[in-house]
Amino acid sequence: MSQAPPAAGFDVHALRAAEFPHVGASPYLNAASVGPLPERSRRATDAYNLRRSRVHELADDDFEPTLRRCREAAARLVSAAAEDIALVPNTSFGINLAAAILPVAQGQRVLASAREFPANVYPWMGLAQREGVRFDLVPADEKGNPDEDRILVELDRGDVAIFALSAVQFATGWNADLPKLGRFCRERGIRFVVDAIQALGQVPLDVREAEVDVLATGGHKWLLGPFGAGFAYVRPELYAQAEPNVVGWTAMAATVDYSRVVDYRWRFLPGARRYEVATLPQQDIAGLTESVDLLLETGIENVRDHVLGILDPLIDWLAEREVQIVSDLRRERRSGIFCFKPKDLPRTMRALHAAGVVCVPREGAVRLAPHVYNTAEEIGAVIEVLRGAEVA
């Protein structure tokens, strides 16, 4: 069995001791559902809430500057400009935003892959119900991943207005070639919408290189942020043609000066702030900023190398026993989500949970989702549990 290589660029044990002391003695391998808050993020949210309880201690820096710092951190994460980031509560809000602002003419289609997570399906189904447009799902391949060849054929038919895709698939970990798909869409005038919640924080993503029109994410999974704090990226060229359909009073240029808020003028703020809807969870956004900063300091490539490296021995062990591996093992398609199908899924899950391993079943497979705080020793412990459970 091969050994996991040492993590490049950071000491996982030191990071865990400093930022994740409460992760626990047993392996927490469920970042694809909920990531733990780093200590710096917990301290930031606690400190904000303490100032809120001592309300006279709230200062100007606790409002718009708190939001600005989060937009700036998010922009660094996706290689965008801060003015192109809107703070939103979750991925669903961001996908619904895309469905609201991107035009679809009569006779055009919205396209997605089958087996997408529902957050990237129901907003488009809703658009089809409301506007009478056609929404099609391209059948997945035999492993449940987007079938890139079939998708390209559909995109090339000339009648697709919007293509929506998850950067990383929730049930297999398949990591999309976003630049290839984005360029293909751009050349054909198709708007490209990306659900990034299973990618950001563990897979590098550049919205400009990938020609993304709208990207949406929540912060509570791989970004290790609080619940209800996320962001959307909106391509700048869309602003002139895509006014928000839900209008927040803080999105208007006339209300920048709080001493004159009744000087009503119908003019939006420049940039993606026009898509933000009034009061935001400042304390949680302060925490999300700290989480994103931690990941940026660690280096997203370092995070990815670490996670793939600690999973390698498990992959070798399962392959030796001819256990069905659902995840695509080509490096360019891999992510921190790793899925396999034991011969008896319920028994395997019972064994893992009895040993304290936190993971979930997804679409008939065991889904493991280690992150920056997990160690090679924890994956070794998982192998021992699986050995006893006779997964083959």
Q: Which of 112, 276, 361 lies closest to 122, judged by CA?
A: 112
Supply φ then ψ for residue 76, to 5 degrees. Answer: -60, -35
Q: For tokens 């003419």, what's the residue?
A: 105
pLDDT of residue 46: 98
Sequential DSSP letters for 51-103: HHHTGGG--GGGSHHHHHHHHHHHHHHHT--GGGEEEESSHHHHHHHHHHHS-
Question: What are 254's two structure tokens?
Answer: 């006339």
DSSP-assigned letter for residue 152: H
Which residues sit opposite 369 in a β-bridge? 30
CA atoms within 13 A on the CB side of 326: 23
CA distance 62 to 132: 44
What's the pTM value of the predicted model, to 2 decimals? 0.94
Sheet with 324-325, strands from edge to edge, namely: 324-325, 338-341, 365-368, 360-362
CB 179 within 8 A of CB 149: no
Sequential DSSP letters for 226-279: -TT-EEEEE-GGGGGG---SS--GGGBGGGSSGGGTTS----BPSGGGGG--S-
Q: Mapping DSSP to helix (H, G, I), strand (E, B) and coil, where does residue 114 land?
A: coil
Helices and strands per DSSP (H, E), number in the chain:
11, 11
pLDDT of residue 8: 54
> Low-confidence residues of the chain, pLDDT below 50?
1-7
DSSP-assigned letter for residue 6: P
Rounded to 5°, the CA angle 389-391-392 comes to: 140
What's the Rg (C-alpha) of the chain?
Answer: 22
pLDDT of residue 317: 97
pLDDT of residue 4: 40
Instruction: Describe the chain by its helix, strand, coil percentages, rounded to 5.
Output: 45, 15, 40
CA distance 20 to 36: 8
CB 273 within 8 A of CB 27: no
